[in-house]
Amino acid sequence: MSLSVEQVNQLKAAPVEGMLPVLAKRWSPRSFKETPISTNDLKIILEAARWAASSANEQPWRFLVGVKGSETHNKIFECLVGANQGWASKPHVLILGAAALKDAKGNPNRYAVYDLGQAAVSLIAQATALGIASHSMGGFDHAAARRAFNLNDDYAIGAVIALGYQDEPSALPTEQLQQREVSPRQRKRLSQVALIELDKPFEI
């Protein structure tokens, strides 16, 4: 029997008491409805990214936002690898993240990619709070994306983020994707990532 959206979200939620619900509930589904995201909700999501923290307030992130049916959406979609194209045609919005690697004075910004990540987390958390699912993808042709958007070496490319409303696992086109949608999430132990030295865990 296929799981409902509510059941699969319960299965995927991080089992950490006291964690912010918006973080505990966030995961990366591949099953999306074609339901549009309202202009107001999309604006709030992008504003959350705009107000993220950044080194020296440089705000180096750039989000190329493609709403379904637009040229930007088509360009981003065409850059995706085939496995991602198999499900990513349904989400209403595709976003390509990039980071400006030079600051306002033309000097290297060594924290640009870190700050792009911070902005992306804010964007995704806000989407989650609004009941909008997200899936970040590294599976795309970076060179093609650079050509499509004239991104020279002054920019680092981040991930493609799909945004939309979650559908049931059974809506996915293949049994393999359906199985991945309902498989338990795996995480490294806290002792593997919280450390006092690279070979010594932080004890808590």
* Separation between Cα atoms, residue 126 and residue 130, nearest integer Å: 6
Q: How many domains does the chain have?
A: 1
69: containing domain: 5-201
Q: What local confidence, expressed as pLDDT, does residue 1 receive?
A: 53
* Separation between Cα atoms, residue 79 and residue 15, nearest integer Å: 35
Q: What is the largest CA-CA distance in the chain?
A: 59
Q: What is the pLDDT along the chain (204 residues), one digit of tens a residue?
A: 589 999 999 999 999 999 999 999 999 999 999 999 999 999 999 999 999 999 999 999 999 999 999 999 999 999 999 999 999 999 999 999 999 999 999 999 999 999 999 999 999 999 999 999 999 999 999 999 999 999 999 999 999 999 999 999 999 999 999 999 999 999 999 999 999 999 999 999
Closest CA to 168 of 37, 5, 59, 46: 5
Q: What local confidence, expressed as pLDDT, does residue 2 receive?
A: 83
CATH of the domain at 186: 3.40.109.10
Given strand 133-137, what is the order of strands in its sheet? 61-67, 93-100, 155-164, 133-137
* Separation between Cα atoms, residue 144 and residue 153, nearest integer Å: 14
Q: What local confidence, expressed as pLDDT, does residue 106 receive?
A: 96
